[in-house]
Structure 1
Amino acid sequence: MCEALPLSLRRLSKGLLTTCFLFALNPSMTLAQSESGWSNQGLLYILGPSLNGTAGAGDLEAEVDLGISDVFDSIDKGFLGMYRGEGERWGVLLDTVYMDLKMDAEGSRGMLSGELELEQTMAIASVTWRLNDSVQFMGGALYNDISTDIAITGPQTTRLASIGEDWVDPIVGVLFETPVGSRWEFSGSAQVGGFGVGSDLVLVLSGAMHYRFNQWASLSVGYRYLDFDYDDGDGNERFKFDMKEHGPLIGIRFDF
């Protein structure tokens, strides 16, 4: 039976990459095509996420409950970016997130203390197909590379567990976009994946409003929700990542 440690997370000087972890600019903005018929977008963004769930290594588990302020207080390094290219109907989308998270914790009544370090690299690569001016379908793969280090200290002993895992999930979804006036636009996307191939379930939802400054730059403000349910292996090789990552996002999009 796994030992679960409820963690009351404190602010840290190091650690989360940050998700500003985790969350991405909504991919579904209309692209202005170049003379060649192919258009490009580059996106840079930050995310203010909350993290809720369970991370496990071997027979040790840590309950994670991080608010937005905890995440930003724990930022060490990170990268969040997206590329989108589109022709007349077909396109490609690449969404990448890197996170490095470290948390100090205390158990109930102060009898146990612990530390959880979580490093995650996620990339979603999709092919898109435009149904009409507002709707696109997409399908592809989500790659996750996660390493977890857990230390639990009691009155007489300290237990350590460290494990890493990487896997690929199939993922499908739909993008929706519509103009709201001359400069504003709303976009939303929903993706689901896993299906037992890697994760039992992966869910990615996002929505954003976009304001265009000029032909090449726009400001995007929105919200993103990610849900991972992955559990694999036995004994010391067991790895669990059952995590919800959600929060507001803000970023700049460049069209070229």
Structure 2
Amino acid sequence: MDLSTNRMTSVVVALFCGAFGYADTGFGADLGQGTAARAESVQSADGWSFVFTSYGWIPWMSGNSVVKGRSFDVNVDPSDVFGHLDWSTLPAWMSYAEARKGPIGLFNDVVYASLSGSRGFDADRRNLDFSGNVSADYTQVTVEAGGAYEIWADRNPVLSGTTALDVLAGARYWHQDAEISASTVTSGNLAGLVLENNRWVAKSGSVDWVDPFVGLRVRNQLGPHEELVVRADFGGFGVGSDFSWQVLATYNWQICTLYGHVLDGYVGYRALSVDYSQGSGTSRYEYDVLQQGPVIGSTLHF
């Protein structure tokens, strides 16, 4: 995401703040420049502070999947995601929340998306009996909950400002439901398939699992209103999936304050990978996919 896009995003949010008379900080044309000093987050009587983030993730998905014993290549780009969101229901939801007191943090992250008629799932070359105008209806939910504990904080010897290091631990719940259809089945092997509207459909049904994870997070306060956050975790360990990992890096800057509450904007990049399998034969389900792409959002401090 280039600087001009960042500037446009900042200006849009600034206009939103100013339009309702909420903005009581300065606002610069360049990211992280010209803003007033960052306001302190409001703390409750027992010392807790809270943040809530609403964000958008623009992912590419690549890998492979098996539904009802049929294997598929997964190659989904952002245009396929946005062009096939299922508007008959809630198409997508992405949010992050964290409560913090001293070195302790408790966090939750939710990603939900529902696609209809996506062309990003295609029969691979080993599965030519299930082919011809392949499309997918696909729903994915990931709900993450965990804790963070600050183990070190000091001035950064390389970058400006101060740095804190957190250890992370938690669990990530996955829910998936895939219906992949094709116009042609050439082998005569119809086991596990159903015929709907002259198309052969492989339905995974509801697939659910939970992955434990551990990780680290670095929070570098570049200035009174700028922060760089880098997080990495890995998990699965055969408890849910065979293995999973995630990397997230974001640049955060203060935009304005709303009734004394700080509103931040942020941009970054997120990658999330999982390798999960269950069943055998025509009940086999596998999902070995990497999702990666830019994220953009805003955070309200309570």
- Same fold, judged at TM 0.5 (above): yes
**1:232 lines up with 2:253 in the alignment:** no
For the pair 1:84 / 2:98, whether they are aligned, the reply is: yes
Say which of 229, 233, 236 aligns to 1:187. 229
- Cα pair 2:136 2:181 within 8 Å, conserved: yes
Equivalent residue, structure 1, for 2:298: 252
Deviations 1:61-105 (A, max 9, x none): 221112222222223311001110011122211000001123137
The answer to whether the 8 Å contact 1:55/1:148 transfers is no
Q: CA deviation at 1:113?
A: 2.1
Where does the alignment leave 5 or more consecutive residues of structure 2 unmatched?
Answer: 1-39, 154-163, 189-198
Matches within 5 A, 1:8-87: 32=41, 34=43, 35-76=45-86, 77-87=91-101
SS in 1 for 2:102: coil
Instruction: Output the CA distance in 2 between the equivalents of 1:127 and 1:62.
Output: 36
Give, in angstroms, the shift of residue 106 of structure 1: 6.9
Moved over 6 A (4+): 105-109
Name which one, 1 or 2, has greater alpha-carbon Rg: 2
- Cα distance change of structure 1 residues 61 and 116 upon mapping to structure 2, 3 Å threshold: farther
- Counterpart-to-counterpart distance in 2, 1:250 and 1:240: 30
Query: Aligned equivalents of 1:92 and 1:53: distance in 2?
Result: 32
1:125 alignment partner, one of 145, 148, 162: 145
* TM-score, length of structure 1 as denominator length: 0.81
Please tell me whether the aligned partners of residues 73 and 122 of structure 2 are also in contact (alpha carbons under 8 angstroms). Answer: no
AA at the equivalent of 2:92: G
Classify the secondary structure of the residue corresponding to 1:131.
Answer: strand
What does the per-residue CA deviation read over 1:175-222, in whole Å, with 9 as the maximum and x for residues that have no partner? 111122332210010010001111011111000100112451000100
Q: Is the 8 A contact 2:63 2:73 kept in 1?
A: yes
Work out which of the residue numbers 195, 199, 208 in structure 1 matches 2:250. 208
Q: Does 1:98 align with 2:112?
A: yes
Q: What is the number of residues matched between the two proteins?
A: 225
CA 1:155–1:225 in structure 2 vs 1: closer, same or farther (change >3 Å)? closer
Deviation at residue 155 of structure 1 after TM alignment: 7.2
The yes-or-no answer on 1:135 pairing with 2:135 is: no
Q: Which residue of 2 aligns with 1:169?
A: 211
Give 2:147's aligned amino acid. Answer: V
Secondary structure of the structure 2 residue equivalent to 1:113: coil
Conservation of the 8 A alpha-carbon contact between 1:93 and 1:125: yes
Q: Which letter does structure 2 place at the counterpart of 1:59? A: G
Shift, 1:148, TM fit: 1.1
List gaps (5 residues or longer) in structure 1.
1-30
Give the number of the structure whose residues are more often strand, by fraction: 1
Contact in 2 for aligned 1:62/1:116 (Cα 8 Å): no
**In the superposition, relative to structure 1, how do residues 208 and 171 fare at CA in structure 2: closer, same or farther (>3 Å)?**
same
Structure 1 counterpart of 2:239, from 165, 190, 197: 197
